[in-house]
Amino acid sequence: MVKEGFKSQGQGSRLEKGRKKMKSLVAAFLIQFFLISSGIGQEVKKPGLRITSPAFENNGKIPSTYTCDGADINPPLKIEQVPREAKSLALVFDDMDAPRGSYVHWILWNIDPGVKEIKENSVPEGSIQGTNDFKKQNYGGPCPPRRAHRYVFNIYALDTRLDLSPMATKADLEKAMKGHILGQAQWMGTYKKK
């Protein structure tokens, strides 16, 4: 009987060692799996929503055609890498150097997320223009009173369409977008009145 006890104790010890070895192998496998998969995820990470303009470089001078010194029409804009789950886009164009901090020149919402381009002097079909700080529902080009100002086109990808009146302002738009923004991008230009 004593011999059997020793025998089962020896087998138990081998089983225990086997279990520990198996646990170590599983832990090592899981660590490698997570390290490899997280590395793969980082390599294929796509940049987010983008907005650009072929009319001027980012941080470049806005051509006078798109200002109060010219035709006062919107420049062409390109929109890329819209999140797949987006239901609409919104656009805000404002003067970041206005005396009160911001002056809104153009706001649009319910732009179809499939829109890849807003052509010069146009509004995407089905979108709604809100009320800018000129108290109008259209594009108002840069027209700084003295020195050069910075103007920013902000594009937002939203997980919903918005139910706003054309009388809505930037503040109304921002309130309606809260909690619905999937992505945001901007393109900036400068302008000094002639």
Q: Is the pLDDT of residue 89 over 80?
A: yes
CA distance 176 to 165: 11
Domain range summary for the chain, segments of one domain joined by +: 1-45, 50-191
CATH 3.40.50.20 fits 50-191, yes or no: no
Task: Write down the pLDDT at residue 194.
Answer: 83
- Side by side, which strands form the sheet with 117-118? 50-52, 77-80, 117-118
**Per residue in 140-179, pLDDT tens?**
999 998 899 999 999 999 999 999 999 999 999 999 999 9
For residue 133, give every residue at least 6 positions away whose Cβ sits within 8 Å of its Cβ, in sequence order, or none.
Answer: 94, 103, 104, 105, 140
pLDDT in tens, 27-70: 555 555 444 444 433 333 447 999 999 999 999 999 999 999 99
Residue 109 makes CB contacts below 8 A (sequence gap 6+) with: 88, 89, 90, 91, 127, 128, 130, 162, 164, 173, 176
**Residue 19 reports pLDDT greater than 80:** no
pLDDT above 50 for 190: yes
- 118's tokens: 């807003």
Question: For 148-181, b where at least 16 C-beta lie within 10 A, e where not — what string?
Answer: ebbbbbbbbbbeebbebeeebbbebbeebbeebe
d(CA 101, CA 46): 33
Confidence of residue 121 (pLDDT cuts 50, 70, 90): very high
Report d(CA 5, CA 36) in Å as an integer.
Answer: 46
User: Which phi and psi angles does 143 have, rounded to 5°?
Assistant: -160, 60
Predicted local confidence at residue 45, as pLDDT: 40
The overall average pLDDT reported for the chain is 86
